[in-house]
Structure 1
Amino acid sequence: MTTAPVAVSLFSGAGGLDLGAENAGAQVAAAVEHNPDAVATMEKNFTHLRGGVIQRDILQTSTEELLGAAEVDAVGGLDLLIGGPPCTPFSKSGFWLEWKRAGLDPGASLLQAYTRVLAESRPRAFVLENVYALTYNNRASRPAYERLQREIAEAGYDFHARVLNAADFGVPQARPRLFVIGVPEGHRLPDFPEPTHGGSWERRQSGKSGKPHVTTGMALEGVIADPEPEEVLRGQYGHLLEEIPPGDNYLYFTAQRGYPAPKFEWRSRYWSFLLKLHPDKPSPTIQAQPGPNVGPFHWDSRRLRVPEVKRLFTFPDEFEFVGSRSSVQAQLGNSVPPLLAQRVVESVLQVL
């Protein structure tokens, strides 16, 4: 008999990265998360955790406590450290805020919380996930990304980083995420997984040719989802959604698209404004806190229901989320698609 590699999870959220790690063959033994709804979601779905979920700010949680909760006896005894520090300081949707562009968001320090635990626990491998905007060459992202890489190296690790599009790995959602994976210096670096699917993404081809991306129509087939309160879009623009064709957005109502009585100027809104899913394409990125008119919306001209969003992230139908509808949306929108996480962790575990 073999023992599953033991993992500790930081910034666990609802457990998308954790679920993927366990599907890859690891055993998540301890986790830390400060959001009470996300903690409740983790506890409902990960009942086997040795040390449970530590509900606390990571900045107030010692590495010693994490290793103790995972029943890891000594520094260097942990197999795998995983985690995705919250992406607020580097989110593409937040760059309109001057203080974020200037790199003044205190949340950036959460990257250092990850590297602190990495240096103090000395795991045999690590997986760090974040928004791909962290790699942007601007005042907020570049210094933070360079510091992150420097601190990983100072902790004694070889590593490499890559932006992966979730749709290229069978997830029915075009969701680019940055992954950094590594091992102690002198050990063989794991390879990133090869894409299993491919198709059009941001005006270019992405992934592996020959096996098309999984579409929203395929993913949502047979889903059982009762109507939800407030799923019908209302307000000033709600009535417009019915007229928009699947896969289109507010640009449908512009002069450039030939609309006879234009309602919007060209490129005057975010691309996701009044955005509707197309059943023959993957979903665009689903956000944690979308505005009142921000999609993607269902092609039936309504908001997506929780069971549908779970499918578009590859969470199992039986996975239960705890909290209000807005809390569940945030937990899902902040999560790593479990299938993408599984593919990455599978590659990392091959070198252990």
Structure 2
Amino acid sequence: MVNRELPVISLFSGAGGLDCAVERCAEPPLSHDGSGSPLRVAVATDYDETALKTLANNFPHTKTLCRDIQSTTTQEILEAGGLSKGEATLVVGGPPCTPFSKSGFWIEEKRQSSDPDASLLDEYVRVIRESEPEAFVLENVQGLTYKTHKAQFDRLIAGLREAGYNPSYKVLLAAEYGVPQLRRRVFVVGRRDGKEYRFPASTHSGESERDRIIDHSKIPFVSVSSAISDLADGPAEDGEIVEGTYGELAAEVPPGQNYLWHTERYDGRNVFEWRSRYWTFLLRADPDRPSTTLQAQPGPWVGPFHWESVPNADGDMRARRFRTSEMKRIMTFPDEFTFVGGRREVQRQIGNAVPVHLGKVVVRSLMEQLGYLSPSGSQARQQSAKQLSIL
């Protein structure tokens, strides 16, 4: 293991989920202090001031630039990080996923893949081309790979190749790597030396929204209850109780069910038409399975909500939202990671982030393949995964 700091440029950094993965990528041991990681984020950029304040609080050694990437030159980024062209070991980042997310897909420009923010992919490629890092890691929502966005995705891959890299991409399910969340993200990884990056094999198996076949040679999925059970007696948060038009209906939905409970096919009230809403409407988490995806900007009745109900001011039982400490666990942020802002701002920052452990797995494997970290055997990986499952 190399005992020196290797600089990283972070783009579209948000609150620092991928940055946290970078600086805590070394395993074993699976540590919360990043022991053994040779990587340090030299400079991080984002236009979201609140999210960047969160990052700065957790990474005091990192220079931050709160700027629009479209008006920020690569040279400015390099200078802020004290770097010259070709000195960065990695460039990492996730361009805003809004143009490619299924959320809000009723908007015509999203269906037609004409969202102007999609051009931010080109800015990522521009910084790669002009800064010449040894390798890069880009992550985004799975929707980026859909046929609707084929032109943008093909342009991204072509641009990275023209910049001198050999990009590989794959959609990863976070739960298959020990994250207590059924969240799918696409990772695009490339090396400047032209060698192909090989994605790590999954360590966990279980039922997802698509798959029912379980590989019993792997570790079972980490359930959301096992991830957050020790936080059950934590303090209540403002805005956690689900009230309003559908507050009473939400409280009656059993764990693992959604609004469909209140259709003629189930045992609730016959209020809604079958499949007339999005799956996440009034969705309660199943404690025995990984959580469904935590969204950045959910509507007032969009889950997943906690499976347990709590009394409101009038003593009526109501569903409740996951608290910040619980959302951090579901996203595998360290407990000591702090967020700036109110509840909505915090949920937006968490929901926009990459699950930290999933990022760690990808970055770790890349650093192994680049020769900066010693390859850890399957036994060590399995042990680290088991340790994660009980944190």
Paired position in structure 2 for 1:226? 235
Q: Distance in 1 between matches of 2:213 and 2:172?
A: 10
Residue matched to 1:147:
155
2:343 to 314, 320, 325: 325
TM-score, with length taken from structure 1: 0.95
Residues 263-320 of structure 1: CA distance to partner in whole angstroms, max 9, x if unpaired? Answer: 1111000000000011100000010000010000001121111111111101111110
Q: Distance in 1 between matches of 2:188 and 2:40?
A: 20
**What is the aligned partner in structure 2 of residue 247 from structure 1?**
256
User: Residue deviations 1:224-266, cap 9 Å, x none?
Assistant: 631112211111110012211111101011112354x411111
**Residues 38 and 331, structure 1, Cα contact 8 Å, conserved in 2:** yes
| CA RMSD across the alignment | 1.4
Q: Distance in 1 between the 2:238 and 2:7 partners?
A: 41
Structure 1: runs of 5+ lacking an equivalent:
none
Alpha-carbon separation, structure 2, partners of 1:345 and 1:16: 12
Q: Does 1:89 align with 2:99?
A: yes
Task: Give aligned pairs, total.
Answer: 345
Q: Which residue of 1 aligns with 2:301?
A: 293
Which amino acid letter does the alignment assign opposite residue 43 of structure 1?
A: A
The one of 247, 251, 255 aligned to 1:238 = 247
Residue 351 of structure 1 and its aligned partner are, at CA, apart by: 2.6
Q: Which residue of 1 aligns with 2:183?
A: 175
1:254 & 1:336 partners in 2: Cα distance?
Answer: 35
SS at match of 2:236: coil
Provide, for residues 24-76 of structure 1, a one-character-per-residue CA deviation record: whole Å limited to 9, x for no partner. 12211111011111011011100112xx1111111111111211222223x22
Which residue matches 2:210?
203
Q: Give the deviation of 1:104 after TM superposition.
A: 2.0
The Cα shift of 1:102 comes to 1.7
Q: What displacement does 1:198 show?
A: 1.0
SS in 2 for 1:161: strand
Aligned to 1:5: 6
Q: Confirm or deny: 8 A CA contact 1:214 1:281 kept in the other structure.
A: yes
Helix, strand or coil at the partner of 1:107:
helix
**TM-score, length of structure 2 as denominator length:** 0.85
* Counterparts of 2:165 and 2:18, CA distance in 1: 21
The AA in structure 2 aligned to 1:234 is E
Counterpart in the other structure of 2:198: 191
Query: Alignment identity in percent?
Result: 49
Q: Which amino acid aligns with 2:295?
A: Q
SS of equivalent residue, structure 1 residue 201: coil
Alignment deviations for residues 162-219 of structure 1 (CA, whole Å, 9 cap, x no partner): 0001111111111000000001253x22211111111111231478543111111101
What runs of 5+ residues in structure 2 fail to find an aligned partner? 26-36, 309-318, 371-391
User: 2:56 aligned with 1:43, yes or no?
Assistant: yes
**Which of 151, 169, 185 is the matching residue for 1:161?**
169
